[in-house]
Amino acid sequence: MNLLLILLIVVCPLFSQTYWQNIRLTYSAEYNGEPSMALNGTQVGIAYEGYNFGNDEILLLVSNDNGATFSPPIRVSNNDSASWKPKITATSTGFDIVWEDNRTGKREVYYARYSSGTMGPTLKISSGNVYSAFPAITANGNDIYCVWEDFRDGNDEIYLRKYVSGVWSPEKRLTTDDSTSWGADIARDPVTGTLHVVWFDYRTGNDEIYIISSNDDGTTWSSPRNLSNDAANSWEPRIAAYNNRIDVTWYSWRSDFVSYEVWYAGFNGETWTVPEIVSDPYADSKCPSISSDALGTIIAWEDYCQGNDEIYAAYKRHDSTTWGNKRITNNDADSYGADCAANATNLLFTWFDYRDTIDQIYFTKGLITDMTSIEQERVSHQKPAITIGPNPSNNLISVKIAGQHAAGTIELYDCRGALHHRYSCTAQSLAESVLWDTSRLPSGMYVVKILLGKTVWTRHVALVR
């Protein structure tokens, strides 16, 4: 049965946006989250999940003027089950959306097309009948390519299905190892036509980021290449491609920083760059998104450097080696799930946050030229007056902070990132000290992580029996 275009009856005010102004796009009394954004010239599409009908459904916002105004929410899915994790891509006539849905009693992948102002019917495109989830999508005109993770083979594998010249292909398994393969993303180079797929899996004994490519529209694929290739676990890769360039981002746990950090690796047409950290270290940075065009690459993520999750972004021109960073949100509530895109001289961002006491979808845009330098407000690396001892230690670790300091926490982690002790500090001008009993911890290297106000730093300490 074809779905009619259904507009939610909400107040959706028009607004005159200034650059970098955080614009609230949803006004329902229930949860809205997980936005995904695509650009089609000056048309902007944002798909998201919202609990507006007594269950999670997929909705769509459309702007026809480069984000100056948006339509009321358009309902994409319509059933009594839950629909989650939408992804959107631009087509010749509008936007295509995929998501996961449990209307059959199993998590399956569904698809719908928004074309020339009309929302089309939903179609189930996975057939594993066990677990098919976390889809991603890319397009070439009105041809589309969708990947997801699937448990039909007894472990999670990555599958592909494409819609070319009006015909759906059979599902194609892309990964073939005994480990679990998760979190796939897909991009099509609009210049060369090459398809690229990234994911993370455990085949080497820890989670690593892998990429494969196809030069024949997905018929055959290259052997997997390990992009992260280190001892740390790496997760949730995202990919963009343009004119034989490939840009990949992910996040990874760094035991030496005792934090999650956002990473980047790029292919310039000849060689891959060495993976580099894009986020400032020592504050948890997770869940990045990425986009690229003829000029440069933009990455957005959620970052805990201010004591709550805020959205940050980094931009680098293809002819430069320097990233310019900018803080996108600035409020006391947490902000999550950022997506980003570049459009001529503008950068566009969407996310969801809790500043309105219920999660709502937000949007902003700004000039590329504003992304010129790393903001110094983020993380200070000045050495405070602290004493940690004894080091090496046997059964007790003492941490002392001298003089005036802001409120924060002192934490003790092992090298795997497991938290063993936490102490909360109040803002004061006197000395602060904590004494931890470590007699039950095994010998090894541990990390003391201190967050006071906006200042984060770490110190290593050894336990020796």
> Which pLDDT score, from 0 to 100, does residue 3 have?
39
> Which pLDDT score, from 0 to 100, does residue 221 have?
99
The domain made up of 23-370 is a member of CATH 2.120.10.30: yes
Domain segments of the chain: what residues? 23-370, 386-463
* Phi, psi for residue 387 in degrees, rounded to 5: -135, 130
* Phi, psi for residue 416 in degrees, rounded to 5: -90, -5
pLDDT digits (tens, 9 = 90+) for 215-226: 999 999 999 999
pLDDT digits (tens, 9 = 90+) for 240-280: 999 999 999 999 998 777 889 999 999 999 999 999 999 98
Number of neighbours of residue 290 by Cβ within 10 angstroms = 26
> Does the pTM of the predicted model rise above 0.85?
no
Q: Which residue has the higher pLDDT, 129 or 339?
A: 339
> Which pLDDT score, from 0 to 100, does residue 405 have?
67
Report CA torsion sign: 143, 84, 24, 310.
Answer: negative
DSSP string computed for 54-78: SS-EEEEEEESSTTSS-PPPEE---
pLDDT digits (tens, 9 = 90+) for 329-373: 999 899 999 999 998 789 999 999 999 999 999 999 999 988 864
Please answer whether residues 310 and 330 qualify as being in contact, where contact means their C-beta atoms are separated by less than 8 angstroms: yes
3-state secondary structure of 336: strand
Averaged pLDDT for residues 412-435: 81
What is the C-alpha to C-alpha distance for residues 30 and 267, in angstroms, rounded to an integer? Answer: 42
> Which pLDDT score, from 0 to 100, does residue 168 have?
98
What is the C-alpha to C-alpha distance for residues 304 and 307, in angstroms, rounded to an integer? Answer: 5
Tokens of 106: 């199993």
Beta-strand ranges (E) seen in 81-233 are 83-90, 94-101, 108-115, 118-119, 123-124, 132-140, 143-150, 157-164, 167-168, 172-173, 181-188, 195-201, 208-214, 225-226
Left (φ > 0), alpha (ψ -120 to 50) or beta: where does 218 sit?
left
Tokens of 135: 């889809």
Note the CATH number of domain 386-463.
Answer: 2.60.40.3080
**DSSP letter, residue 237:** E
Nearest-CA neighbor of 59 among 44, 45, 77?
A: 77
pLDDT above 90 for 374: no
What is the C-alpha to C-alpha distance for residues 196 and 214, in angstroms, rounded to an integer? Answer: 7
User: Is there a cis peptide before residue 390, judged by omega within 30 degrees of 0?
Assistant: yes
Mean pLDDT of the chain: 90
> Which pLDDT score, from 0 to 100, does residue 454 have?
58
DSSP string computed for 27-51: --SS-EEEEEEEEETTEEEEEEEE-
Tokens of 153: 């083979």
Left (φ > 0), alpha (ψ -120 to 50) or beta: where does 166 sit?
left
> Which pLDDT score, from 0 to 100, does residue 377 have?
39
> Which pLDDT score, from 0 to 100, does residue 384 have?
60
- Going by pLDDT thresholds of 50, 70 and 90, the confidence category of residue 237 is very high
Number of neighbours of residue 60 by Cβ within 10 angstroms = 23
> Which pLDDT score, from 0 to 100, does residue 381 have?
41
